[in-house]
Structure 1
């Protein structure tokens, strides 16, 4: 094997190595994006949606007790429910929030705090407190509704990101296959091609 043939071999092998390394790095980056997107959909959207549902159930229980003027509910169950809501709010705060979501969440916390303070003053004896609580519950339900819609919207965005990354991986895989076939043919031509020496 002549020196020129050795250089051709080395260049051919290096070209294949660089191609495989480059596509591998691109694929790895895209798989990381897909993984992060799936984790975000689960941790920051599905769990958040579940927490919103739990808060909605608690608010509905409060609203029913308020309408029914159920003093036994406020004497026995309400404090436990408030503790559960505070725990849910704390868990929700740990999810990744968008700027709009953060703003609505701060309003939600403020409304819950005002509702808890209003509950301490009692409902049965004071119709003004009753009206205040009804308004706060309405605001809380509106906050929860907005947060719920954000979960759907952000989940869709994350799904689009993962779909785009998967499409990119498929595209680069096809390009890689075509380039490898081309390189294999080129290497075969280099190996087989034997120029006739001048006599």
Structure 2
């Protein structure tokens, strides 16, 4: 009878330890998942948001130079129109290679279309007077700058969203780490109580 009870206790102890191991393993896996999510979001903030802001600034600067040149306010040392077009095209290619939201994709597509229209005005001035052509170019440049402003606002919103998600993942990870410690402490105390109780019971049986 005593031998059966000891075997049952051993089985219960093994099961308890197995449950503890599985709980710790499961929480660790979940913890790793949330940590990877936070890391991926931070990488996306830099590669697809911070760098894109730099692209937008560079394009905006090129457009501003064109606008100044349109009214004769730029020195002759400034890049030529073809060089500026090449610069903008290169930046747009980098922009397109990033992770785009649907709204971002549509705005970028519209920007490329409007930019092509601007290039067409430079290549084919048609029969318009200088004043009319300058007005059309100025309006087109203003529309492009507005488009860039909207793209920039998307970067801010997306960066804020990704940062919030990363913080949420880190908070969950921290909570799970605390739960792991709590479970280990509780199980440790429970095992100590069981061992102490068993030792005390064996001592009584020996004394009897």
Task: State the SS of the aligned residue for 1:95.
Answer: coil
- Cα deviation digits, residues 60-116 of structure 1 (max 9, x gap): 000000011879689x61101100100001110111111111111111111111111
CA distance in 2, matches of 1:86, 1:145: 18
Aligned pairs (5 A) from 1:84-99: 84-99=87-102
Residue of structure 1 equivalent to 2:45: 41
2:83 to 57, 60, 80: 80
- Cα deviation digits, residues 143-181 of structure 1 (max 9, x gap): 001111111111000000001011111111111111110
CA distance in 2, matches of 1:44, 1:166: 21
Task: State the SS of the aligned residue for 1:193.
Answer: helix
Residue of structure 1 equivalent to 2:67: 63
Whether the aligned pair in 1 keeps the contact of 2:65 and 2:74 (CA below 8 Å) is no
CA distance in 2, matches of 1:173, 1:44: 31
Residue of structure 2 equivalent to 1:10: 14
The structure whose Rg is larger is 2
Whether the aligned pair in 2 keeps the contact of 1:59 and 1:141 (CA below 8 Å) is yes
Task: State the SS of the aligned residue for 1:96.
Answer: coil
CA distance in 1, matches of 2:184, 2:142: 63
Q: 1:185 deviation in Å?
A: 0.9
Q: Under a length normalisation based on structure 1, what TM-score does the superposition of the two structures give?
A: 0.90
Q: 1:182 deviation in Å?
A: 0.3
Whether the aligned pair in 1 keeps the contact of 2:49 and 2:159 (CA below 8 Å) is yes
Whether the aligned pair in 2 keeps the contact of 1:108 and 1:140 (CA below 8 Å) is yes
- Count the aligned residue pairs: 197
Residue of structure 2 equivalent to 1:191: 195
Structure 1: runs of 5+ lacking an equivalent = none
Q: Which moves more between the two structures, 5-14 or 45-54?
A: 5-14
